[in-house]
Amino acid sequence: MSTQQLTGRADEFFRALQRRDASYEGIFVVGVKTTGIFCRPTCSARKPLRANVEFFPSAHEALYAGFRPCLRCKPMHAGREVPPLVEELRRQVEEALSEPLRDRDLMRKGIDPSTARRQFQRYFGMSFHAYQRARRMGSALAAVRKGTKLLDTQLAHGFESSSGFREAFAKLFGTVPSKANGVHCLFARWIETPLGAILVLANDSGLYVLDWVDRRGLEREILRLRHKTKFAIVPGDHLLLDQANREIGEYFRGTRAAFSLPFAPRGTEFQRRVWGALLEIPPGETRSYAEIARRIGAPKAVRAVARANGDNFRGIVIPCHRVIGSDGSLTGYGGGLPRKKWLLEHERSMMSAAAPAQVLKASMGGIVRRG
């Protein structure tokens, strides 16, 4: 069930939360905005006001929305008592959100990284590194999600310390929003979709990033982009963010098959050739990596094409999800293969429907190849 589908049943879920209805276990978790904590439907804590809750289909999405798991109802609990190692590492993550613990740090503490990975996987359903990445990214993305006007409220609630939140945000994005005046900026927005949240980064030069907030490698790409452009990245308003929000919404409603967003200049000459070839794949169709390599005149560069495809970070808009293996298998999508499958089926359905010709013509007519 998607986040948007949950929103449509929010009143039903709030009633289930009020009566602590165990039949809704596994259907949703609830985030409490005033505390920054997410809980099971059956949590025994005092029930929040309706205006202060938000529902998520999984703990994973709640983490990336900036909420941390409740210590009372343990919404990530796998049915067993928390192992001491898991609890200790969870505590250390919360105390230093901006400083990830790497394998060498674990070894200095006398902890076998593979043991930490296995225990977190068994207990939380994700590895230790995936958990701390979700908490760190979630803490920083929370400000993007809420916008600058709500930043002070976000800092005041929901984190072990406001300084930890500020450090996590500044480390990832280069500044805190309150100090962004006079700094060259990329503006960020969080967009909800039926498949999860998307992060968009843009400025007057065009679109830099449009990708899933939980996409592996996104944090590294943001840091690389910051280093290369020297721009700070802050929540804010921009016409391109409005346009991205509108066009992504139209795409998921099935009324837009391609996009008219301008792309900021980025990438190597080879990457730009690959991305240009991706834009030529019609909606509802696929091409193999080998076909893309031949299309750009580099038939032996199949692996390089795959790397450039993965380095796109403007997914959906530059349709890297339309590239498949030579045997027809779905491979190599940063947002995960279930999303890739859904997007391809959505586009095939869109193109096979008896949509008015002018809708498709308008949708296809504005592709801009600047990046």
Same domain, 152 and 242: yes
Structure confidence at residue 258 (pLDDT): 85
Q: Can you give the pTM of this predicted structure? A: 0.70
- Cα torsion 226, 173, 214, 81 to 10°: value is 140
The last residue of a domain, from among 50, 77, 104: 77
Same domain for 335 and 282: yes
- Structure confidence at residue 281 (pLDDT): 95
Domain membership of residue 102 (yes or no) is no
Whether 210 is covered by a domain: the verdict is: yes
Residues 194 and 223 in one domain: yes
Same domain, 234 and 305: no
Residues 31 and 68 in one domain: yes
Residues 6+ apart with CB under 8 A from 269: none
Catalytic, out of 39, 43, 73, 185 = 39
Same domain, 227 and 302: no
**CB–CB of 231/184 below 8 Å?**
yes
Per-residue pLDDT at 304: 95
Segments of the chain with pLDDT less than 50:
149-151, 153-160, 354, 357-370
Question: Domain of 65: which CATH number?
Answer: 3.40.10.10
Q: Which of 43, 70, 185, 320 is catalytic?
A: 320
290 lies in which domain range? Answer: 269-364
Give the integer Cα–Cα distance in Å for 282 and 185. 34
- Given 205, 220, 253, the domain boundary residue is 253
For residue 47, with 0-12 CB atoms within 10 Å meaning exposed, 13-18 middle and 19 or more buried, which class applies? middle
Q: What is the structure's pLDDT at 150? A: 47
- 73 has catalytic annotation: no
Same domain as 209, residue 144: yes
Contact 117, 51 (CB under 8 A): no
Same domain, 233 and 299: no
User: Both 219 and 281 in a single domain?
Assistant: no
Rg, Å, the chain Cα set: 21
My answer on whether 146 and 248 are in the same domain is yes
* pLDDT for residue 177: 57
Q: What is the pLDDT of residues 258-281, one digit of tens each?
A: 899 999 998 999 999 999 999 999
pLDDT at residue 366, as a whole number: 43
Question: Would you say residue 90 lies in a domain?
Answer: no
Question: What's the pLDDT score for residue 4?
Answer: 57
- Pairing between β-strand 196-203 and β-strand 185-193 as defined by DSSP bridges: antiparallel
| Domain presence at residue 135 | no
Predicted local distance difference test score (pLDDT) of residue 231: 84
Same domain membership, residue 244 and residue 170: yes
Extract the tokens encoding 123. Answer: 């207990």
Q: What is the pLDDT of residues 188-222, one digit of tens each?
A: 888 988 888 899 999 999 999 999 988 888 888 98
Of 226, 253, 280, the domain-final residue: 253
Please state the domain count of the chain: 3
